[in-house]
A and B are shown apart, each in its own frame.
Chain A
């Protein structure tokens, strides 16, 4: 009798445990638990002050809703996500320059939004040095969203969904432009790409093919002085010898002649997804980009010294090296990042 009860007890405990597990599963319907902002293995300390604007689930979700809300533009047609599409690493795939309100065209290629928490400044000319101030620029740009932040606040101010989201994120349903910027930063700093094949190889969970490995060595010899470190950019402003047009790049910010035609060295992470290339999207393929460095570099007063050594301009790269370089560059593609449902609009 005693042993039967003991057995019964064990049986009930087991059943009870099963029930618990099942109810746990119900509470998280297939989604991963929100982990917040994490610094990936091997990444430097972030530049973004996550301690003053810590990423919370509610703040992230508010930021995401704002990011994909057309009401940020004057006529409701353009959201941030219109030109920063998740599956092309948050660039405007196929668009040479930004394509904004009423089919107006900007002058520069929409840059990738990834690993923003480590950037020292933003935009091709580095004109903005604080992520919280970044969204004001496209919102106010007359050829992008052509709106003012105060109008956006007025438009969303009566929306009960937003009131709830602001309350959840900031403890008050008082909607302000500053909180809007902070929420959008929380969304953007979460856009971390650090799980490409390259990262897996570094972590020891994948291996390069022989050609990829050769490509990596060529990259380290010929490209990594500018596209350096885990972010694949030294974040400097350089003139890489593009045939010049009226856009003087960093000069617009500093008004210093030594900065003419310099643009920020872009990260090469996800470069396989972010065509077209360069600040004005003039090259449509990685082949064209490498050909520029081999054959197209134009001498000028501010041309980077790295691109003019021993009396020659450009970088010597053979056809064989070019194809291996491209194979290596494609190992920087992070499929988990571009397909992450947490970040995507739909």
Chain B
């Protein structure tokens, strides 16, 4: 009986020690401290790096093409903490335009992030309906329809273009243009198509460790496969649909590109 008590005591002590050990690891960050995190949008074409104009690619239907423009909005970023909580990037700092022609736009820096171990991220490909209807003075940075955002904005329909992909198909010598300008936030006073796509990605077991002390912060290296705009639930036929802008077919392309982004790796150094 005494023995049993002793064993139990040891067990209790070791359990306590284990628990405190766990606490110890948790304590290596302090959520009241703020750090940075990077999302790197690496545009690809299948297995290859995307190269504008000179790269030639082939869609699922075997039609060859090149890409001269590949732009998209990323917005409403939410970081998923491994403890189950979420950190929503403040809305005013949560709109990014990634343009393949401008390397600097590939890196999205998120600052003032509470220290933590983040296991995933979610965001919108496109621009939420609220920002599509705000007064002009609140459309700053990437959303300014008179400056940075003017190439991604339908002035006649006052809505943002979420994704633009343009190029030539068949063969470059035949100069057949394709233009996919995909938008549609659901309409202001009357409902219409809604191509806003929410994406949630897991960092596949590697946490992004946000710490104040890190100067550059952890980086999630994301692959964005331009071919997936064309291939997927609907395999887009250039000959049948070379121009897709604000029309019903755009829903197919938006459904395709909702799975174009994947996590390649996360690095913490």
Which of B136, B156, B188, B191 sits near A181, CB closer than 8 Å?
A: B136
Q: Is the beta-carbon distance between A178 and B157 smaller than 8 angstroms?
A: no
Q: What's the least CB distance linking A128 to chain B, in Å?
A: 4
Q: Closest approach, in angstroms, between the C-beta of B221 and any C-beta of chain A?
A: 32
Judged by DSSP, the binding face of B is loop
Q: Considering residues B155, B188, B248, which has the most beta carbons from chain A within 10 angstroms of its beta carbon?
A: B155
- Also in contact, A259 and B190, with CB within 8 A (given A133-B136, A178-B136, A180-B146): yes
Q: Chain B residues near A153 (CB, 8 Å)?
A: 146-147
Task: Provide the bound-state CA to CA distance between A164 and B193, in Å.
Answer: 44
| Cβ-based interface call for A140 (8 A) | yes
Query: Can you name the residue of chain A whose Cβ is closest to the Cβ of B148?
Result: A150
The reply to whether A255 and B189 contact each other, CB–CB distance below 8 Å, is: no
CA distance A126 to B159 in the complex (A): 13
Interchain pairs with CB closer than 8 A, number: 90
B145 at interface, CB cutoff 8 A: yes
B187 contacts the other chain (CB 8 A):
yes
Using an 8 Å CB-CB cutoff, how does the interface string of B136-150 with A read, 1 for contact, 0 for none?
A: 110100001111001
Q: Which chain B residues lie closer than 8 Å to A126 at the CB level? A: 189
Which residues of A come within 8 Å of B, CB atoms?
49, 52-53, 120-121, 123, 126-130, 132-133, 136-137, 139-141, 148-150, 153, 176-178, 180-182, 250, 252-256, 259
| B158 in complex: contacting residue of A53, A127, A141, A148, CB < 8 Å | A127
In the complex, which of the residues A141, A150, A182 contacts B136, with contact meaning CB atoms closer than 8 Å?
Answer: A182
Interface residue B14 (Cβ < 8 Å from any Cβ of A): no
Nearest residue (CB) in B for A138 is B155
Closest B residue by C-beta to A259: B190
Q: Is the CB of B135 within 8 A of A254?
A: no
CB neighbours of A250 from chain B (8 A): 190
The verdict on A133 contacting B137 (CB below 8 Å), with A120-B189, A127-B157, A254-B191 known, is no
Whether B158 lies near A255 (C-beta < 8 A) is no
Partner among B135, B156, B189, B248 whose Cβ is within 8 Å of the Cβ of A123:
B156
- Beyond A127-B157, A136-B153, A254-B190, whether A177 also contacts B135 by CB under 8 A is no
Q: Are B158 and A149 in contact, with the CB atoms below 8 A? A: no
B82 within 8 A of A: no
B190–A149 touching, CB < 8 Å: no
Asked if A128 and B146 sit within 8 Å, CB to CB, the answer is no
With A and B bound together, what is the CA distance between A129 and B190 in angstroms? 12
On chain B, the residues within 8 Å of A120 by CB distance are: 189
Beta-carbon contact of A178 and B158 below 8 Å:
no
Q: With A52-B137, A253-B190 in contact, is A141–B146 under 8 Å at CB?
A: no
Q: How far is the CB of B247 from chain A (nearest CB, A)?
A: 7
Are A150 and B158 within 8 A (Cβ)?
no
Cα A245 to Cα B191 in complex, Å, equals 25
Q: Which residue of A lies closest to B158 (CB)?
A: A128
